[in-house]
Amino acid sequence: MDLLCKVYGGTSDEEDDNGGIHLQRPILPPPKRAKFENFHQVSNHLPLYKSNPSANLPAQASLPGRYISKRERAAMASVEKVPDLSTTISPNSSPVLGSILDSVLPHNILSALRDQTKVYGNMIHTPERLSVVLDGHKRSVNAVQWSTSHAHLLASAGMDQTVCIWNVWSRDQKKARVLNCHHAAVKDVKWSPYGLFVLSCGYDCTSRLIDVEKGTETQVFNEDQVVGVVKFHPDNYNLFLSGGSKGHLKIWDIRAGKVVHQYVRNPDPILDAEFTVDAKRIISSSDTSKSNISENSIMVWDVSREIPLSNQVYGEAYTCPSIRCHPSDPKFIAQSNGNYIAIFSTKPPFGLDKYRRYGSHSVSGFPIKCNFSLDGDKVISGSSDGYIYVYDSNTCKLIRKIKAYNEACIDVVFHPVMSNVVASCSWSGQVSVAVT
Residue type, 95: P
* pLDDT score of 6: 54
* pLDDT score of 47: 34
Q: Label residues 269-297 b or e (16+ Cβ within 10 Å = b).
A: bbbbbbbbbeeebbbbbbbbeeeebbbbb
* C-alpha to C-alpha distance for 335 and 341, rounded to whole angstroms: 4
* pLDDT score of 126: 45
pTM > 0.95: yes or no: no
CB 253 within 8 A of CB 221: no
* pLDDT score of 120: 42
CB 308 within 8 A of CB 299: yes
- Complete domains list, the chain, with CATH: 48-88 (no CATH), 92-435 (2.130.10.10)
* C-alpha to C-alpha distance for 408 and 404, rounded to whole angstroms: 9
Q: Label residues 153-183 b or e (16+ Cβ within 10 Å = b).
A: bbbbbbbbbbbbbbbbbbeeebbbbbbbbbb
* pLDDT score of 92: 58
* pLDDT score of 69: 62
Residue of 401, 409, 403 whose CA lies nearest to 429? 409
* C-alpha to C-alpha distance for 189 and 209, rounded to whole angstroms: 10
* pLDDT score of 77: 56
* pLDDT score of 68: 60
* C-alpha to C-alpha distance for 436 and 391, rounded to whole angstroms: 11
What separation in angstroms does the CA of 386 have from each of 246, 252, 268, 401, 428?
31, 35, 29, 10, 10
Residue type, 392: D
* C-alpha to C-alpha distance for 198 and 218, rounded to whole angstroms: 10
pLDDT tens track, the chain, 436 positions: 555 555 556 544 444 444 443 434 444 444 444 333 333 333 333 333 333 333 343 444 444 444 566 665 665 554 434 333 333 334 456 777 889 998 899 888 888 888 754 444 444 444 557 899 999 899 999 999 999 999 999 999 999 999 999 999 999 899 999 999 999 999 999 999 888 999 999 999 999 999 999 999 999 999 999 999 999 999 999 999 999 999 999 999 999 999 999 999 888 999 999 999 999 999 999 998 666 666 779 999 999 999 999 988 998 889 999 999 999 999 999 999 999 999 999 999 999 999 999 999 999 999 999 999 999 999 999 999 999 999 999 999 999 999 999 999 999 999 999 989 999 999 999 999 999 8
* C-alpha to C-alpha distance for 243 and 252, rounded to whole angstroms: 11
